[in-house]
Amino acid sequence: MRTELTYAATLPANTSTAVLVPGHEHLPEELFSQDEQEYISRQLSLKSTLVAINRFTHQLYLVLTDPKSKETHTQEALRKAGHALHQRLVADKVDSIVLLDGADGEAALYVAEGLVLSNYSFQRYKTEKATPPILKSVTITGIGVSQTQVKELSNLLEAVYNTRDLINTPPNMQTATMLSEQIQEMLNESGVQVEVLDQVQIQSLKMGGLLSVNQASDESATFNILEWKPENATNAQPIILVGKGVVYDTGGLSLKPTPNSMDYMKSDMSGAAAVAGTLSALAKNKVPLYVIGLIPATDNLISGKGFAPGDVITMHSGHTVEVLNTDAEGRLILADALHFAKRYNPSLVIDIATLTGAAARAVGREGIVMMGTADDLTKTDLKLAGEMAHERLVEFPLWEEYQEHLKSDIADLKNIGGAEAGAISAGKFLEFFTNYPWIHLDIAGTAYLLSPDSYRGKHATGSSVRLLYHFLSSQATA
């Protein structure tokens, strides 16, 4: 990965080092001279949480990591400490850092997570004044951490990097076909099998939702099937991840009302990228779980041949949908994929999508909207994984009354409800095409940020990759 994350059994000599301590009493005195200890004490008395000491040949940092009331809060504070450390390392032009947990715990893993994610940069298309990150490598040492843990984290963070790259790629560099090629390249030699269905195959499957959204485009749609099936998988029935792959969304004839928001509609395939990233992390870390990814991909453009409000389309399931808004296109392509998933007899299906502005308005960029029909234990496990990754889930109801919002006068259902409960009626639409335990994640508020937010950075965040990885890893050992 672009920021190398490695493990060392012993502390390398004369190397810039950040010592992590939960309090002054845990300070490893053998690492500091008496004068340095006195300087550190003065700085800590001034409420400093990051103390820097210049030893001329290298830098020495003390990072204070006070425990919080909950373990997951402590872990998030450590990630943010990693972000703060990153800012100081950039200022000091440090290209390599060793993280040492002075309390012999696992704090270095979480600091490294925040540090490495903060060091992400997307400069693929810069030809002048490109400034690649100064920090090249992060090494973790200490008896509380193993080489296996560091390697697992490294593979997971590399998957987040690759997910961010997919999302940040501009639309003229990422048609549906190009996205399929990029995913294949990303998963090359990982052990994940990739099958890409072309336009003719999609037509033969009668995926009317995907085909209708694609009508206005000169570029073909694709339907991507990613399969990770290790020989030692602990589940016979697969868990399926379905990702929305709208590579660019104008809103179609229901043109988006704010033109200045259209430039980041390249991010409308964040769910697809998250599925690919999650499969990559699972495979690289050889998680013994049978997982399938389904990614319907297309753009949603404007053309005289495009689908229009008032159209009635026939879905892959055979049901008819009255289209009242062509900007509610994501649920149409997801519905085809969710019905397609039935052929695998899955134990659980999770869809991930930048689906509704209503979800973003409801919980902001601080959370992910969740709803679904899976049992309470599964939902609880997913919420716990969200707390662990600090990609927190807010569950919305799927009461039967919400189905009334989708009643059509002329078709089986319509593709939008009313102004109220927009995120829920979108979820209710998707539920119509399922008959298995299912969870819907609306990442509209978290997938792409217009201003920096700590280690999540600016623009693509890779939202839900760490969440899904933690959840699925726990399912493999349950």
- How far apart are the C-alpha atoms of 84 and 61, rounded to whole Å? 12
The yes-or-no answer on residue 466 being catalytic is no
What is the predicted pLDDT for the residue at 1?
56
Catalytic residue list contains 256: yes
Pairing, β 291-300 against β 393-395 = unpaired
The total domain count for the chain is: 2
Q: Residue 425's pLDDT is what?
A: 98
244 occurs within a structural domain: yes
Nearest to 421 by CA among 437, 401, 407, 439: 401
Residue 151 falls within a domain, yes or no?
A: no
pLDDT at 152: 98
pLDDT at 262: 87
Q: Is 270 within a domain?
A: yes
With respect to residue 429, please indicate whether it lies within any of the assigned structural domains. yes
Of 113, 145, 177, the one marking the end of a domain is 145
**Helix ranges, 205-269 (H):** 208-214
Chosen domain end from 98, 116, 145: 145
Round to whole Å and give the CA distance between 298 and 302.
Answer: 13
Does residue 204 form part of some domain? yes
Judgement on whether residues 204 and 85 belong to the same structural domain of the protein? no
In a domain, 150, yes or no: no
For 14-62, write each residue's pLDDT tens digit.
Answer: 899 999 998 878 888 888 899 999 999 899 888 889 999 999 899 999 9
Instruction: Give the per-residue pLDDT at 31.
Output: 87
Q: State the chain's mean pLDDT as an integer.
A: 96
**Residue among 256, 342, 383, 392 flagged as catalytic:** 256
User: What's the one-letter identity of residue 182?
Assistant: Q
179 and 109 in a single domain? The answer is: no
Per annotation, catalytic residue among 79, 164, 244, 331: 331
Q: Do 325 and 453 fall into the same domain? A: yes
304 has a pLDDT exceeding 70? yes
Segment 103-162, tens digit of pLDDT: 888 999 999 999 999 999 999 999 887 888 999 999 999 889 999 999 999 999 999 999
Whether 402 and 446 share a structural domain: yes
- For residue 142, count other CB atoms closer than 10 A to its CB: 25
What's the rounded mean pLDDT across residues 367-373?
Answer: 98
Give the model's pLDDT for residue 259.
65
CATH code at position 166:
3.40.630.10
pLDDT digits (tens, 9 = 90+) for 237-292: 999 999 999 999 999 999 988 766 788 999 999 999 999 999 999 999 999 999 99
Domain that holds residue 59: 4-145
